[in-house]
Every structure is written in structure tokens, then in C-alpha cells.
Chain A
């Protein structure tokens, strides 16, 4: 068993990474996703104003996509945020440069609609003891991402479970 650095222990259970909105939710963007997965659900395809009191909603599975930073920006100093910064911070801090997602939990709350601007918080839930993976020393960890609407209602929670490791020849 390898103890966890104090810095990492202090990350557990608190929103260490908070993300401001990166874009405005747009039906044209989510219809590209519907095409990719051949999803003809009329709740996603209906046009705004077609049915009074029933605006189209974004596919729930796209929830995390709305918080992925633009790969390029007209701002010359723009450096895209890493998609799951908390995960990269852990990999760096624990010297475990390779990580794979083993399971994903998605919990959906208030639907997302065109014009919404979401924000997110990344929370480290747990970090397991170091153990020997097939590739080398590694650890398991879980990170929850809470997505909020502009009025602070919860849009959903994504929890990602990882195994991260370093290859034997890369041990420092």
C-alpha cells in the first residue's frame, strides 16, 4: 500500500476544478450527434415553437459535450482546457501518465435546451491504493462532474471511473 500525498487527500470531496460556460447549447450542434447515432427522437428534432410549452431538448447523452472547450479560438492566447482537468492533475501528481475509463455513470436531471449555458464542477470522489496492473503500478480513482444550468439547477452528474498506471520501464 502506498500512501496518498496530502495534496491529493485534500482534493477529495471538494470541487477543485470549476468550469465557466464555454458555449451556448445549440440545436444544430446536437442534431449532428443525433445523425451520428441515428436517433430520430422527435423531442430532439422538433423545431422551437412547433408545440407551445414544449421546446426541443438536447440529447441527454451529450451533457458532457457542452463543457468541452473549443479546440481553437480567435483569442491568440487561448489554450484549450483539458477535458477532465481533475484527472490530468491526478495523473501528474501521482506520476501515473496513462489512464483509461473503465465505467461511466450518467444521472440526468433538468433537461438541457437551446440557449442554455452550462457550468461544471469536478469533484474527486476517491483514490484507491496503488496496486500492480498488467501494465505496471497503478491506481483506481473516480471523479464526479456536476453540470449546472445558468440558474444553478442541476442538469446532471457524470461519474467517471478510471484506472491509471505507469509502464514498468517508466517508473521514476
Chain B
């Protein structure tokens, strides 16, 4: 979303984002988030010890993908206040994932729009992760950044 883009409204759909999940992506995410649990890099361990189909994407990496999906839509001045996600089934190498989102509500407070969004990560018909997020966007005047908010003005 740019300065010229219309302001968000309830019911707006975020453009879908397709991700081909590879072994490399999962391991890059785990190691860069400093998560050394073997279920995120050791396929044999994941299958034989944890009973998983393969290595799985860790929760930090999922949060990272959801975060980039939100700010890709909202722009770099979009500031994520809160995020909740439930991992219902694992994301494994070979999965073709699709990130989807829809605006649930928009509340103008001061110079900012506070936006509630529902999100999901799907693999075909399978829902791997459901999520919700609250973020602050520059309001109608587009002159203030939510990143300047602190103290009581910041309402995650």
C-alpha cells in the first residue's frame, strides 16, 4: 500500500502470497532465528523420533513470513502491535503454501488507523496455520508514523 492507496476497510482482502516451501527455506529460517531443535533441520530425527512427516517450519519463521506478508501490504510504516497464530498442521519441504488475509476492522485513533486482520497459511485445502494481527497504519493525513508512538499512545 502506498501513500496514494485507498485507506483499508473491513472486508478488504490482502493479495495472496504463494511460497514454495523448501528444505533450504525451513533450515534458513530455523538457523537465522537461532532455533536449533532437530525437528527443524534433521529429517531422520523428525520422522523417527518425533513422528513427523519431515522437518517442519518453526514458529519464529512462520511469524516472520506473516510479518512480511502484513508489511508488504501495509507498507514499511505499518507497525505490528500484536500477532496470534495457531499451528494446526506442519509446514514441510515440498508444500506449496498460500498466505491469505482479510481486514476485519479499522479503527481511527488520533493520526492512525488500527487494523485487525485475519490470516491463514494454507496448503491446498489444508489449513496449516490460522492467525490474527493488529497493526497501526498512518491515518488519512499520512504525516505521522506509528513507529513514533510510545508509552500510553502505543496500544498493542
Contacts and interface: CB of A to CB of B under 8 A. Distances in A.
A105 B147 contact: no
Contact of A106 (B63, B76, B86): B63
Interface string B54-78: 0000011101111110010000100
Interface residues of A, number: 32
Given A107-B156, A109-B156, A61 B85 contact: no
A160 to B, nearest CB: 8
A79 interface: no
A108 B156 contact: yes
A61 B76 contact: no
Contacts, number: 92
A110 B156 contact: no
B71 A41 contact: yes
Interface in A20-62: 29, 32-33, 35-39, 41-43, 57, 59-62
B33 A41 contact: no
A29 B60 contact: no
A17 interface: no
Q: Is the interface of A mostly helix, strand, loop or mixed?
A: mixed
A159 to B, nearest CB: 9
B80 A39 contact: no
A111 B147 contact: yes
Nearest to A153: B150
Interface of B: 25, 28-29, 31-37, 59-61, 63-68, 71, 76, 79-87, 147, 150, 154, 156
Interface of A: 29, 32-33, 35-39, 41-43, 57, 59-62, 64-65, 68, 71, 83, 101-111
Given A61-B66, A101-B59, A104-B84, 19 more contacts: A32-B31, A33-B33, A33-B64, A36-B29, A36-B61, A37-B29, A37-B65, A41-B76, A42-B76, A61-B63, A61-B64, A61-B83, A62-B33, A64-B33, A103-B86, A106-B84, A107-B81, A108-B82, A109-B154
